[in-house]
Amino acid sequence: MAEVSIRKMRKTFGKVVAVEGVDLEVARGELIVLLGPSGCGKSTTLRMVAGLETISAGELRIGGRDVTRLEPKDRDIAMVFQNYALYPHKTIRGNMAFGLKMRGMEPGEIDRRVSDAAEMLDITHLLERKPGQLSGGQMQRVALGRALVRDPAVFLLDEPLSNLDAKLRARMREEIALLQRRIGKAMLYVTHDQTEAMTLADRIVIMRDGRVQQIGSPLEVYDRPANAFVAGFIGSPEMNLAPAEIAGGRLVLGEGVSLPAPEGARPGPVTAGIRPEALAPVPAEEGAPLLVNGIEQLGSQTLFIGDLGGHRVRVMTGRRDDIRIDDRIAVAAPQAAIHLFDRDSGERLAAAGEG
């Protein structure tokens, strides 16, 4: 039985449809990331699971119970917000214990839970401090600890790392992943950061305009995006997408600019997608001409930005310092690395051998 079961969930604000027809099953111990741009409906979906927004239509079950109309306190969930929402006048111990006291839990059990959570998160030495004395990373651990002491069936995290700097975000991603494996509870995690999604998720739910575009493991959505939107959203740098034509077994990107088309591709107009790391510099006679107009040195890698048949593309290679801006180089990609999408609908076109 799924720990969380969402069926045809819908949310409207007047005539505005914010979320439409979300179906999702979350197993115990599974970390699901809701991913998408601002306004896609991911936070609204999470807030409906939490009970902070009413569900306009559909059904929500947690632990097999229908909780669609229950109050948040009755749903067996704990939530970690973008802003840590800590009481500034209470100690860290007091912040972590407050919800348990309000539930009438015995003092001894409260102390045990707070101590266990603090040890797990390495914040035992902070328990007698006030929030104003902590760093952002420490406050984030406290917010996680406050959720952890409740021992809920489901953890809900809404952009929990967005207030941290890049280095601390990377560290906290590691800590959340380790924590998830230790506690083994269902977790729903909202972010707009696809790096967070790729590194944390067991499965990613990619949303756009209130609708689910694709659900799959990080590598599934990366390797086989369901449509051009997913293809362009997942990946850093993002996938190169350009209008093209399949003709004579070639992928024609512009006048005199073409690459071998994927095996079995049908003639006609398409949107072609090639990940930057799939393109590589090759001898002039083996590839298509690229005019380099930008270079980003990333240490172990080099990113070239250039013009390929009138299209702006990115090429990610190993470290190169022999190519300059305004150089003309040839690039190519393996046929199997070229993704094709319907020009009108954006839906993925199956390649030879795909279902």
Q: Is 328 found in the same domain as 267?
A: yes
Q: What is the pLDDT of residue 304?
A: 97
247, β-bridge pairs: 250
Q: Could you tell me which of 318, 14, 42, 19 has the C-alpha nearest to residue 162?
A: 42
Dihedrals φ, ψ of 172, to 5°?
-70, -30
Domain ends where: 229, 260, 283? Answer: 229
Give the DSSP letter string of 209-235: TTEEEEEE-HHHHHHS-SBHHHHHHSS
> 157 and 306 in one domain?
no
Predicted local distance difference test score (pLDDT) of residue 256: 85
Query: Would you state the structure tokens that stand for residue 95, as one six-digit string?
Result: 């912040």
Let me know if residue 354 belongs to a domain.
no
Q: Within this chain, do residues 209 and 282 fall inside the same structural domain, yes or no?
A: no
For the chain (355 residues), the mean pLDDT of every run of 10, in chain order, is 92 96 96 96 96 97 96 93 86 94 92 92 93 89 91 93 84 88 93 92 97 97 97 93 95 92 93 96 94 96 96 96 95 95 93 49
How far lies 161's CA from each of 83, 131, 197, 201, 274, in Å? 9, 17, 12, 15, 30
Residue at 347 is within a domain: no
Q: How many domains does the chain divide into?
A: 2
What confidence score (pLDDT) does residue 171 get? 85
> Residues 215, 252: one domain?
no
The predicted structure's pLDDT at residue 175: 87
Structural domain that includes position 251: 238-342
Q: Of the candidates 203, 229, 255, which is a domain's last residue? A: 229
Is the same domain home to 224 and 246?
no
CATH number at residue 300: 2.40.50.140
Q: What is the pLDDT of residue 240?
A: 97
